Amino acid sequence: MQIRILIVAALVLSVFSGCGGPQRPDGLPTLYPCELTITQSGNPLEGASVRLVRETGTNDWAITGRTDSNGVVKIFTHDFAGAPEGTFKVLVSKTALSESNIPKPADNASLEEWNQYQESRTSVSYVEPEYGNVKTSPHSLTVVQGKNTATFDVGEPVEIRK
């Protein structure tokens, strides 16, 4: 008897919890698997942000991903795996905050001390800006039905401080 009650309870919970995952938004096009490899001087580029931007037409959906330690990025469109059909500019960027030239304040430090610490850090870009700009990126990708793979190199390593 207890097993039947547990089964019924599990069924009721699954119906009300929407166990099918996130709801697919209206108008989201058919998506196709898209796995890219990003290299820098031929070596895998870890931690880079990758965006696909339509070369023509409108960009109704965010098409993005982040590279892993092998430089591989699985593309997602609006949190769903894959990319829609079309031709896209491939935009790559990698930025981080520099280390501070002053020691990190204690947790109970004043707001002024924290502000000084934050202001001592600068934004550092590790990829030439041309690769992150839709007008200057030399990389394009045409997504078609089926699995899409490609490798793109973003030139020599750089360290541009802003």
Question: Which sequence spans correspond to the domains of the chain?
Answer: 28-94+125-161
**Measured distance CA(140)–CA(13) in Å, rounded:** 46
**Measured distance CA(154)–CA(92) in Å, rounded:** 8
* Fold annotation for 28-94+125-161: Immunoglobulin-like (2.60.40)
146 DSSP assignment:
S
pLDDT tens across the length of the chain (162 residues)? 445 444 544 544 454 445 556 788 889 999 999 999 999 999 999 999 999 999 987 878 999 999 999 999 999 999 999 999 999 999 999 998 878 778 888 889 889 888 888 888 888 899 999 999 999 999 999 999 999 999 999 999 998 987
User: Given CA atoms 120, 117, 46, 82 in this order, what sign does their dihedral have?
Assistant: negative
**8 Å CB contact between 63 and 85:** no
**Four-point Cα dihedral 81, 83, 43, 135, nearest 10:** -140
**Four-point Cα dihedral 14, 20, 26, 27, nearest 10:** -170
* Model pTM score: 0.77
**Measured distance CA(54)–CA(59) in Å, rounded:** 6
The 10 Å Cβ neighbour count of residue 69 is: 9
Grouping H, G, I as helix, E, B as strand and the rest as coil, residue 125 is strand
For the stretch 88-134, pLDDT in tens is 999 999 998 878 778 888 889 889 888 888 888 888 899 999 999 99
* CA nearest to 157, candidates 122, 129, 128: 128
